[in-house]
Protein backbone atom coordinates (compact mmCIF):
# COMPACT_ATOMS: atom_id res chain seq x y z
CA UNK A 1 0.00 0.00 0.00
CA UNK A 2 1.23 3.51 -0.79
CA UNK A 3 3.27 4.82 2.14
CA UNK A 4 1.46 8.14 2.26
CA UNK A 5 -1.84 6.37 2.92
CA UNK A 6 -0.22 4.26 5.61
CA UNK A 7 0.79 7.52 7.26
CA UNK A 8 -2.78 8.80 6.98
CA UNK A 9 -4.03 5.72 8.81
CA UNK A 10 -1.41 6.25 11.49
CA UNK A 11 -2.71 9.78 11.88
CA UNK A 12 -6.23 8.42 12.23
CA UNK A 13 -5.08 6.12 15.01
CA UNK A 14 -3.82 9.16 16.89
CA UNK A 15 -7.12 10.91 16.21
CA UNK A 16 -9.15 7.97 17.51
CA UNK A 17 -7.06 7.78 20.65
CA UNK A 18 -7.64 11.48 21.34
CA UNK A 19 -11.32 11.61 20.39
CA UNK A 20 -12.52 8.28 21.79
CA UNK A 21 -14.58 9.88 24.54
CA UNK A 22 -15.85 12.89 22.60
CA UNK A 23 -18.68 11.10 20.82
CA UNK A 24 -20.61 9.97 23.91
CA UNK A 25 -23.35 12.57 23.46
CA UNK A 26 -23.52 12.23 19.67
CA UNK A 27 -24.36 8.56 19.25
CA UNK A 28 -27.95 9.00 18.06
CA UNK A 29 -28.29 12.62 16.92
CA UNK A 30 -26.52 15.82 15.97
CA UNK A 31 -27.43 19.47 16.45
CA UNK A 32 -24.65 21.54 14.83
CA UNK A 33 -24.71 25.28 15.34
CA UNK A 34 -23.36 26.00 11.87
CA UNK A 35 -23.38 24.60 8.36
CA UNK A 36 -20.38 25.64 6.27
CA UNK A 37 -20.16 25.37 2.49
CA UNK A 38 -16.56 25.41 1.33
CA UNK A 39 -14.76 24.70 -1.90
CA UNK A 40 -13.45 21.15 -2.17
CA UNK A 41 -9.85 22.32 -2.40
CA UNK A 42 -7.05 20.55 -0.54
CA UNK A 43 -5.79 23.91 0.71
CA UNK A 44 -9.09 24.79 2.39
CA UNK A 45 -9.17 23.02 5.76
CA UNK A 46 -12.78 23.19 6.79
CA UNK A 47 -12.57 22.49 10.51
CA UNK A 48 -9.04 23.71 11.04
CA UNK A 49 -9.80 27.15 9.57
CA UNK A 50 -12.04 27.70 12.62
CA UNK A 51 -9.62 25.88 14.91
CA UNK A 52 -12.53 23.53 15.60
CA UNK A 53 -11.96 20.11 17.10
CA UNK A 54 -15.42 19.63 18.59
CA UNK A 55 -17.48 16.86 16.93
CA UNK A 56 -21.05 17.91 16.31
CA UNK A 57 -20.45 21.65 16.21
CA UNK A 58 -20.06 22.30 12.46
CA UNK A 59 -21.86 20.51 9.62
CA UNK A 60 -19.33 20.70 6.79
CA UNK A 61 -20.15 20.62 3.08
CA UNK A 62 -17.60 20.81 0.30
CA UNK A 63 -17.89 20.93 -3.47
CA UNK A 64 -16.35 22.56 -6.52
CA UNK A 65 -16.97 26.28 -6.21
CA UNK A 66 -18.63 26.32 -2.73
CA UNK A 67 -22.05 25.99 -4.36
CA UNK A 68 -25.32 25.91 -2.46
CA UNK A 69 -27.26 24.57 -5.44
CA UNK A 70 -27.75 21.31 -7.26
CA UNK A 71 -29.68 20.25 -10.35
CA UNK A 72 -33.03 18.51 -9.85
CA UNK A 73 -35.86 17.46 -12.15
CA UNK A 74 -37.67 20.67 -11.20
CA UNK A 75 -34.63 22.82 -11.97
CA UNK A 76 -31.92 24.26 -9.76
CA UNK A 77 -32.61 23.86 -6.04
CA UNK A 78 -30.77 24.41 -2.76
CA UNK A 79 -28.40 21.50 -2.35
CA UNK A 80 -29.59 18.79 -0.01
CA UNK A 81 -26.33 18.60 1.89
CA UNK A 82 -26.60 22.31 2.73
CA UNK A 83 -30.31 22.18 3.48
CA UNK A 84 -30.33 19.04 5.61
CA UNK A 85 -28.91 20.54 8.84
CA UNK A 86 -31.11 23.62 8.45
CA UNK A 87 -34.24 21.55 7.91
CA UNK A 88 -33.60 18.68 10.29
CA UNK A 89 -31.06 19.48 13.02
CA UNK A 90 -31.94 23.01 14.11
CA UNK A 91 -28.93 24.69 12.53
CA UNK A 92 -29.57 28.42 12.25
CA UNK A 93 -26.37 29.81 10.70
CA UNK A 94 -25.05 29.04 7.21
CA UNK A 95 -21.59 30.17 6.14
CA UNK A 96 -20.49 30.20 2.49
CA UNK A 97 -16.69 30.16 2.27
CA UNK A 98 -14.91 30.97 -0.98
CA UNK A 99 -11.14 31.15 -1.27
CA UNK A 100 -8.58 33.23 -3.09
CA UNK A 101 -7.38 31.90 -6.43
CA UNK A 102 -10.34 29.51 -6.70
CA UNK A 103 -9.86 27.01 -9.53
CA UNK A 104 -13.60 26.51 -9.97
CA UNK A 105 -14.20 30.24 -10.40
CA UNK A 106 -11.23 30.39 -12.78
CA UNK A 107 -12.62 27.53 -14.87
CA UNK A 108 -16.06 29.14 -14.95
CA UNK A 109 -14.57 32.45 -16.05
CA UNK A 110 -12.67 30.67 -18.80
CA UNK A 111 -15.81 28.83 -19.90
CA UNK A 112 -17.79 32.07 -20.05
CA UNK A 113 -15.14 34.07 -21.90
CA UNK A 114 -13.70 31.40 -24.16
CA UNK A 115 -13.84 27.66 -24.25
CA UNK A 116 -13.50 24.93 -21.66
CA UNK A 117 -13.38 21.20 -22.18
CA UNK A 118 -13.24 18.84 -19.23
CA UNK A 119 -14.70 15.61 -17.89
CA UNK A 120 -18.54 15.61 -17.89
CA UNK A 121 -18.78 15.61 -14.09
CA UNK A 122 -16.54 18.65 -13.82
CA UNK A 123 -18.36 20.45 -16.63
CA UNK A 124 -21.65 19.77 -14.80
CA UNK A 125 -20.29 21.60 -11.74
CA UNK A 126 -19.08 24.50 -13.89
CA UNK A 127 -22.48 24.69 -15.59
CA UNK A 128 -24.07 25.19 -12.17
CA UNK A 129 -21.66 28.04 -11.44
CA UNK A 130 -22.07 29.81 -14.79
CA UNK A 131 -25.41 31.53 -14.06
CA UNK A 132 -24.06 32.60 -10.68
CA UNK A 133 -20.91 34.23 -12.04
CA UNK A 134 -21.90 35.44 -15.52
CA UNK A 135 -23.77 38.58 -14.35
CA UNK A 136 -20.62 39.69 -12.56
CA UNK A 137 -18.58 39.85 -15.75
CA UNK A 138 -20.24 43.05 -16.94
CA UNK A 139 -19.68 44.69 -13.55
CA UNK A 140 -15.92 44.03 -13.50
CA UNK A 141 -13.68 47.10 -13.64
CA UNK A 142 -11.76 47.44 -16.89
CA UNK A 143 -8.13 46.46 -17.37
CA UNK A 144 -7.86 44.10 -14.40
CA UNK A 145 -5.16 41.49 -14.51
CA UNK A 146 -6.28 37.86 -14.52
CA UNK A 147 -5.48 37.19 -10.86
CA UNK A 148 -7.41 40.22 -9.64
CA UNK A 149 -10.32 39.38 -11.93
CA UNK A 150 -10.59 35.90 -10.45
CA UNK A 151 -10.47 37.19 -6.87
CA UNK A 152 -13.16 39.75 -7.63
CA UNK A 153 -15.31 36.96 -9.02
CA UNK A 154 -14.60 34.82 -5.94
CA UNK A 155 -16.33 37.48 -3.85
CA UNK A 156 -19.11 37.79 -6.42
CA UNK A 157 -19.70 34.04 -6.37
CA UNK A 158 -19.90 34.04 -2.57
CA UNK A 159 -22.44 36.86 -2.77
CA UNK A 160 -24.58 34.93 -5.24
CA UNK A 161 -24.51 31.77 -3.13
CA UNK A 162 -25.51 33.78 -0.06
CA UNK A 163 -28.36 35.44 -1.94
CA UNK A 164 -29.58 32.09 -3.22
CA UNK A 165 -30.01 30.86 0.35
CA UNK A 166 -31.71 34.11 1.39
CA UNK A 167 -34.15 33.89 -1.53
CA UNK A 168 -35.00 30.22 -1.08
CA UNK A 169 -38.40 29.31 0.38
CA UNK A 170 -36.72 26.22 1.83
CA UNK A 171 -34.47 28.29 4.11
CA UNK A 172 -36.32 29.90 7.07
CA UNK A 173 -36.09 33.66 7.37
CA UNK A 174 -34.46 33.45 10.79
CA UNK A 175 -31.41 31.61 9.46
CA UNK A 176 -28.35 33.87 9.40
CA UNK A 177 -26.34 33.57 6.16
CA UNK A 178 -22.72 34.72 6.13
CA UNK A 179 -20.29 34.96 3.22
CA UNK A 180 -16.53 34.81 3.69
CA UNK A 181 -13.29 34.37 1.76
CA UNK A 182 -10.41 32.23 3.02
CA UNK A 183 -7.13 33.86 2.05
CA UNK A 184 -3.90 31.90 1.81
CA UNK A 185 -2.41 34.03 -0.99
CA UNK A 186 -1.90 37.43 0.71
CA UNK A 187 -4.75 39.02 -1.27
CA UNK A 188 -6.36 40.74 1.74
CA UNK A 189 -3.13 41.75 3.45
CA UNK A 190 -3.65 39.79 6.67
CA UNK A 191 -2.18 36.52 7.80
CA UNK A 192 -2.35 33.54 5.48
CA UNK A 193 -5.32 31.39 6.42
CA UNK A 194 -7.45 34.26 7.70
CA UNK A 195 -11.14 34.41 6.93
CA UNK A 196 -12.50 37.74 5.75
CA UNK A 197 -16.22 38.32 6.13
CA UNK A 198 -17.62 39.86 2.95
CA UNK A 199 -21.39 39.46 3.28
CA UNK A 200 -23.88 39.09 6.13
CA UNK A 201 -27.50 38.40 5.22
CA UNK A 202 -27.04 40.10 1.87
CA UNK A 203 -25.34 43.24 3.18
CA UNK A 204 -22.03 43.83 1.35
CA UNK A 205 -21.07 47.38 2.31
CA UNK A 206 -17.94 47.15 4.46
CA UNK A 207 -18.62 50.30 6.49
CA UNK A 208 -22.17 49.22 7.26
CA UNK A 209 -21.09 45.72 8.21
CA UNK A 210 -18.34 47.01 10.50
CA UNK A 211 -20.77 49.36 12.23
CA UNK A 212 -23.42 46.68 12.60
CA UNK A 213 -21.05 43.93 13.70
CA UNK A 214 -18.48 45.81 15.79
CA UNK A 215 -17.37 42.64 17.58
CA UNK A 216 -15.88 41.28 14.33
CA UNK A 217 -15.19 44.57 12.53
CA UNK A 218 -11.52 43.73 12.06
CA UNK A 219 -12.45 40.61 10.10
CA UNK A 220 -14.77 42.37 7.65
CA UNK A 221 -13.24 43.29 4.31
CA UNK A 222 -13.81 43.14 0.56
CA UNK A 223 -11.58 43.53 -2.48
CA UNK A 224 -14.47 44.56 -4.72
CA UNK A 225 -17.33 46.98 -4.16
CA UNK A 226 -19.93 46.90 -6.92
pLDDT in tens, 70-105: 999 989 999 999 999 999 999 999 999 999 999 999
* pLDDT the model gives residue 24: 95
Round to whole Å and give the CA distance between 46 and 18.
19
pLDDT for residue 117: 86
Q: Which residues of the chain have pLDDT under 50?
A: none
The span from the CA of 205 to the CA of 5, in Å, is: 45
Nearest residue to 154 (alpha-carbon basis) of 109, 220, 210:
109
Question: Residue 116's pLDDT is what?
Answer: 82
Predicted pLDDT of residue 111: 96
How far apart (Å, rounded) are the C-alpha atoms in residues 219 and 114? 35
- Residue 100: closest CA among 185, 161, 220, 196: 185
Amino acid sequence: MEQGFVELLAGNADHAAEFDGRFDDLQTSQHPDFVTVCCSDSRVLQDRMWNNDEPGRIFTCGNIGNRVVQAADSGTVVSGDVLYPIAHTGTDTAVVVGHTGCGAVTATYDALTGDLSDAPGIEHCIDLLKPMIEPGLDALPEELDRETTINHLVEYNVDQQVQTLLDSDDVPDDVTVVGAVYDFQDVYGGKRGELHLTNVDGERDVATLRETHEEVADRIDRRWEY
